[in-house]
Structure 1
Amino acid sequence: MRLPHIHWPHFHIHFHDRPLAGEPHPERPFHWRLYLCEMVATAVLMVFGLAGVILLSAPHSWIGDHLSLHPAIQAALCGLCFGLAGTVAAMTPFGKVSGAHLNPSVTLAFMLSKKIVWIDALGYIISQIIGAVLGTALVYGAGYFLSSWKVHALAVHYGATVPYTGISVWFALGSEILVTGLLIATLYWLAAHPRFKWVTPWIGGIFFFVMNPLTAWISGNSANFARSFGPDLFAGNWNGLWVYLLGPFIGSSLAVIAIQADILGKIHLMEARLVNFGHHGRVPHMDDPHFVHAAPEHYEEYKAHLQTITKLQEQGVAGEARKEMGN
């Protein structure tokens, strides 16, 4: 199998790349650009999310010591911070292209709804795990430059989620199932109503701001295996990792079953994207992630639009060269 050519930072566009929902094009069984973008977006999530959690919860830090007196507020702010890290990741060009699932549970839900085929789902999940490890590695590596950061990061196990040991681990599993199920149901409802698409990238922060004070003490409210795997790898903490594998996947599956049974009302999901809707599941161009005319019937229009972008870029480069020659 020969990998497609990728020229950084501009990716080649394949007009006949298959939609995320549908039969694969015989010449394009994989979406390498999507997987790469999803990996980078997940790394961004982890860098900003873990950094925020460490700053807010590390003992003997100025912020951590003050917030420790108000654990509910501390938990809410940690949830808000990690959720907004997802917003940052979704707003990057990488998140806009991949759709910013950022979470194996989200990808699984889309696959079970037949909005993304299994081979793309596998590519996304592997990319999310790799991205989570890379993002955590950057947070870990910062400790070599700032000794105080290393102390604070170690104190909270690099932002790892750990089941509360004061009760049975099955409560942690139940909490992950519940939180993930509610998260998926919320995302599905928003994704099924395009008029609320502007809320979708922000919903993670709002959701975990509300849920963390209620249930984070039980399991940490991961709802994301990749998010838990990254910090656990660097902290060497494997106890309870299975909770963050089974819990989110079960919760995601149950949410899809409930949605398909119309328990939550009529919810019709158009495509497997959480950020940018309207391009019919086609892979958008990195230079123009918002462009809506990527469906086959708009091929000529889309091609002309990309050619216009290329000409403008070339004119800009030529203009800069003339200025340098004039100087």
Structure 2
Amino acid sequence: MEVKSSTKYFAELVGTFALVLFGCGAAVVSGVSLTGPAGIGILGIAFAFGLAVLVMCYAIGGISGCHINPAITIAMLVAGKINGKDAVGYIIAQLIGAVIGAAVLYCIQNGLNGWIPGEWALGSNGWGEGYGAGYNMTSAFIAEAVLTFLFLFVIFGSTGKWGNGAMAGMAIGLTLTLIHMVAIPITGTSVNPARSFGPAIFAGGKAMAQLWLFVVAPVVGGIAAALVWRAVEKK
């Protein structure tokens, strides 16, 4: 059964909305305790992002493929698995969904007595002094590009002709969890330009100034994975 393009775009919007709200929401609301050092921590945040992707894979995977990430959409375009018109529609929908997710999170946080948005508010991505462990721009770029490459390689492998389609969502979600375990101290983990775009719109400041890296590096990594996978498929 053919799915209408508008239905695919709406699915991508909802899926990206859910990813930002669940993932960034876990980082902002539950990542640290308001009364002490306890909280879900890096492991909990990593699983929040991974589980968000996993559940959305099964919810909308049959509709749109569950990209919910412009880097994935661009990689799929390079690999010839989506046409240009749908790629543009997907990316626009993803960016809108991410902004709505960040807006909802902003409204929730705004109801917390004494909450003042920081420099990288709402789970925004960043690097340098004052962010995470203080890694520099080069480390941030390498981490985002290489981890996005591995993420896309798993996606191509698990959804391709040699993969197990029924288990693809599990593989993809767990890979994103692993990625967050590594990258949270470095950049807060993006590997997804839309996920970075939504919170940065509301955080402004350094989050917006550094947004370019979280667009360029994931796209570079995604395109590299698409080209490698095309070469693998031809063998």
With the shorter chain as reference, the TM-score category is: 0.7 to 0.9
Aligned: 1:66 with 2:33: no
Describe how 1:121-270 pairs up with structure 2 within 5 A. 121-144=87-110, 146-148=111-113, 151=115, 157-165=121-129, 166-193=134-161, 196-236=164-204, 237-262=207-232, 266=233
| C-alpha deviation, 1:230, in angstroms | 0.4
- In structure 2, runs of 5+ residues without a counterpart are none
Q: Which has the higher helix share?
A: 2
- Give, as a single letter, the amino acid of the residue that structure 2 aligns with 1:120: D
The answer (yes or no) to whether the contact 1:188–1:267 under 8 Å persists in 2 is no
- Which whole-Å CA distance do the structure 2 matches of 1:247 and 1:80 have between them? 23
Q: Quote the sequence identity (%).
A: 28
Q: Which has the higher contact order (CA 8 A, sep 6+)?
A: 2
Larger Rg computed on CA atoms: 1
With over 3 angstroms needed to count, the CA separation of the structure-2 counterparts of 1:56 and 1:247, relative to structure 1, is same
Q: 2: CA distance between counterparts of 1:155 and 1:201? A: 34
The letter of the residue matching 1:147 is L
Aligned to 1:42: 16
Q: Which residue of 2 aligns with 1:91?
A: 58
- Which of 16, 27, 31 is residue 53 of structure 1 equivalent to? 27
**Aligned partner of 2:22: which letter?**
F
1:238: how far off? 1.0
- 1:223-258 per-position Cα deviation (integer Å, ceiling 9, x unaligned): 000000000111113121111010000000111121
Query: Compared with structure 1, are the counterparts of its residues 46 and 211 closer, same or farther at alpha carbon in structure 2 (3 Å cutoff)?
Result: closer
Structure 1 segments (4+ residues) deviating >4 Å: 152-156
Q: 1:57 to 1:202 in 2, by over 3 A?
A: same
State the Cα distance separating 1:203 from its structure 2 match.
Answer: 3.0
- TM-score between the two structures when normalised by the length of structure 1: 0.63
Cα shift readout 1:107-162 (whole Å, capped 9, x = no counterpart)? 11110011111111011011100010011111112234x425x8387586111111
Moved more, 94-103 or 124-133: 94-103
Q: Between Structure 1 and Structure 2, how many residues are aligned?
A: 229
RMSD: 2.7
1:217 Cα shift? 1.6
2: distance between equivalents of 1:153 and 1:56?
16
- Partner of 1:311 in structure 2? none
**SS at 1:227's partner residue?**
helix
Map residues 92-131 of structure 1 onto 2, 5 A cutoff: 92=59, 94-131=60-97
Matched residue of 2:166: which SS? coil
Provide the residue aligned with 1:76 in structure 2: 43
**C-alpha displacement of 1:34:** 1.2
Displacement of 1:194: 6.7
Q: Structure 1: give runs of 5+ residues left out of the alignment.
A: 1-12, 18-29, 68-72, 269-327
Task: Report if the CA contact (8 A) 2:153-2:229 is conserved.
Answer: yes
For residues 97 and 229 of structure 1, the distance between their equivalents in structure 2, rounded to whole angstroms, comes to 24
The residue type equivalent to 1:112 in the other structure is V
TM-score, with normalisation over the residues of structure 2? 0.86
Deviations 1:31-56 (A, max 9, x none): 22211221122112222122212234
The offset of 1:205, in angstroms, is 3.6
Partner AA of 1:38 in structure 2: E
Q: Distance in 2 between matches of 1:267 and 1:40?
A: 35
- 1:168 CA displacement: 2.9
